């Protein structure tokens, strides 16, 4: 049995854990998805009913017969409890470098049999800053793209039938740290891109002040701006399939899953030129990358300084090019190859196939 341990809410980590759980179910593997901490509902129609709470004896029941435990959280207390219950299971960490600390390097190095990094950037940070290249090469694995699990929905220039439809995807980082800038981008897009319609898709609730600003924008742009407040992953997919472009005004992600899901729905993506987006998007092939000023954080990872002016300049140039959308939508963007690579890697780690 495979046990996948994760937060369960409207965040990218949950999306990644659910995708992995779906892959296991499709392969006929007994999978338990365990929610660590408080978990929400209305995330996924299947896993809402089948996610196991890690509270009380839920963790014990979920790991006692597990052959593999896949951790999407780096929590020493939960990990110690799980290893006490099942000391024969292999423990696999899928780390987010935003949640790793140098203080945890001893626990990370000794507590997990394998570390599977979701991006090349994460792999570099784990190797050079957490372990400093002092662990076997086969313990820390990486690949270039997390798979969305969605079947490709090809588009052929939907904008030709009456204006371009833009999906602005706002994650927690956008809303908490640059909400006002994001709303300015939305307003300017509506002003400068003729016949455009915008859907603002949120992964969490905005602040009271920003909700007031959103209501003001909806009133000004009657019929051209729609706001989709937090909803299920399935509903988000349906919304993506009715748009032409996906714009992600964020500079922080671990898996880039919103971009990956948009690609599967036939949407080219406009976002900042920072990992993992820069690992997923080839400029003018499956999207457009916005130049941004890069600094470094305490782990020497790239940190982008977002600029609404640069975002708008780059995005508007792409959105007003009448031939670009059709050209970008004309290929499959290697989705089938990436999907097979994703499945092959995980089935091998789980001891299924070769």
- Domains in the chain, please, with CATH? 2-147+337-349 (3.40.50.2000), 158-334 (3.40.50.2000)
Residue 169, pLDDT score: 96
Residue 214, pLDDT score: 95
**Residue that wins the pLDDT comparison between 23 and 296:** 23
Residue 99, pLDDT score: 67
pLDDT at residue 140 is higher than 90: no
**Residue that wins the pLDDT comparison between 179 and 110:** 179
Q: Which of 308, 167, 353 is nearest to 247 (CA)?
A: 167
Where does the pLDDT of residue 173 fall: very low under 50, low under 70, confident under 90, or very high at 90 and above? Answer: confident
Residue 343, pLDDT score: 93
Q: Which residues contact 338 (CB under 8 A, 6 or more apart)?
A: 144, 145, 147
Residue 143, pLDDT score: 74
State the chain's mean pLDDT as an integer: 88
Tens-digit pLDDT profile for residues 118-128? 888 888 888 88
Where does the pLDDT of residue 189 fall: very low under 50, low under 70, confident under 90, or very high at 90 and above? Answer: very high
Residue 261, pLDDT score: 94
Give the whole-angstrom CA distance, residue 85 versus residue 29. Answer: 21
Supply the pTM of this predicted model.
0.92
pLDDT exceeding 90 applies to what percent of the chain? 52
Give the whole-angstrom CA distance, residue 311 versus residue 185. Answer: 8
Tens-digit pLDDT profile for residues 219-256? 999 999 999 998 899 999 999 999 999 999 988 888 99
Give the whole-angstrom CA distance, residue 193 versus residue 175. Answer: 23
pLDDT at residue 354 is higher than 90: no
Question: What would the two tokens of residue 336 be?
Answer: 């089938």
Q: What secondary structure, in 3-state letters, does the chain show?
A: CEEEEEEECCCHHHHHHHHHHHHHHHCCCCEEEEEEEEECCCCCCCHHHHCEECCCCHHHHHHCCCCEEEECCCCHHHHHHHHHHCCCCEEEECCCCCCCCHHHHHHHHHHCCEEEECCHHHHHHHHHHHCCCCCCHHHEEECCCCCCCCCCCCCCCHHHHCCCEEEEEECHHHHHHHHHHHHHHHHHHHHHCCCCEEEEEECCCCCHHHHHHHHHHHHHCCCCEEEECCCCHHHHHHHHCCCCEEEECCCCCCCCHHHHHHHHCCCCEEEECCCCHHHHCCECCCEEEECCEEEECCCCCEEEECCHHHHHHHHHHHHCCCCHHHHHCCCCCCHHHHHHHHHHHHHHHCCCCC
pLDDT at residue 152 is higher than 90: no
Tens-digit pLDDT profile for residues 84-128? 888 889 999 998 866 677 677 777 778 889 999 988 888 888 888
Residue 239, pLDDT score: 93
Dihedral sign, Cα of residue 194, residue 157, residue 184, residue 209: positive
Give the whole-angstrom CA distance, residue 290 versus residue 283. Answer: 9
Residue 51, pLDDT score: 94
Residue 275, pLDDT score: 86
Give the whole-angstrom CA distance, residue 237 versus residue 354. Answer: 32
């Amino acid at each position: 049995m495979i046990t996948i341990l994760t937060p369960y809410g409207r965040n990218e980590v949950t999306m990644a854990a659910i995708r992995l759980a779906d892959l296991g179910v499709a392969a006929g593997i007994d999978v338990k998805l365990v929610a660590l901490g408080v978990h929400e509902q209305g995330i996924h129609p299947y896993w809402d009913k089948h996610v196991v709470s890690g509270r009380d004896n839920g963790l014990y029941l979920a790991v006692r017969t597990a052959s593999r435990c896949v951790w999407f959280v780096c929590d020493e207390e939960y990990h110690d409890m799980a290893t006490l219950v099942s000391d024969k299971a292999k423990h696999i960490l899928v780390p987010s470098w935003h949640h790793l600390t140098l203080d945890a390097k001893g626990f990370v190095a000794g507590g997990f049999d394998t570390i599977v990094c979701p991006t090349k950037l994460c792999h570099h940070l784990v190797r050079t800053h957490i372990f400093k290249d002092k662990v076997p090469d086969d313990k820390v694995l990486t690949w270039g793209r997390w798979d969305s699990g969605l079947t490709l929905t090809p588009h052929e220039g939907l904008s030709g039938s009456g204006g371009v439809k833009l999906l602005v995807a706002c994650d927690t980082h956008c809303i908490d740290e640059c909400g006002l800038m994001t709303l300015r981008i939305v307003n300017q897009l509506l002003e400068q891109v003729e016949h455009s319609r915008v859907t603002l898709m949120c992964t969490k609730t905005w602040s009271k002040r920003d909700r007031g600003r959103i209501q003001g924008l909806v009133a000004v742009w009657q019929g051209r701006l729609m706001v989709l407040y937090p909803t299920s992953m399935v509903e988000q997919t349906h919304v993506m399939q009715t748009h032409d472009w996906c714009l992600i005004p964020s500079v922080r992600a671990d898996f880039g899953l919103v971009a990956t899901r948009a690609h599967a729905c036939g949407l080219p993506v406009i976002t900042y030129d920072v990992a993992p987006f820069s690992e997923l998007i080839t400029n003018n092939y499956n999207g457009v990358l916005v130049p941004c000023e890069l600094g470094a954080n305490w782990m020497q990872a790239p940190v982008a300084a977002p600029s609404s002016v640069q975002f708008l300049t780059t995005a508007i140039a792409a959105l007003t090019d009448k031939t670009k959308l059709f050209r970008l939508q004309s290929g499959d963007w290697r989705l089938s190859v990436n999907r097979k690579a994703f499945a092959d890697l995980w089935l091998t780690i789980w001891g299924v196939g070769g």
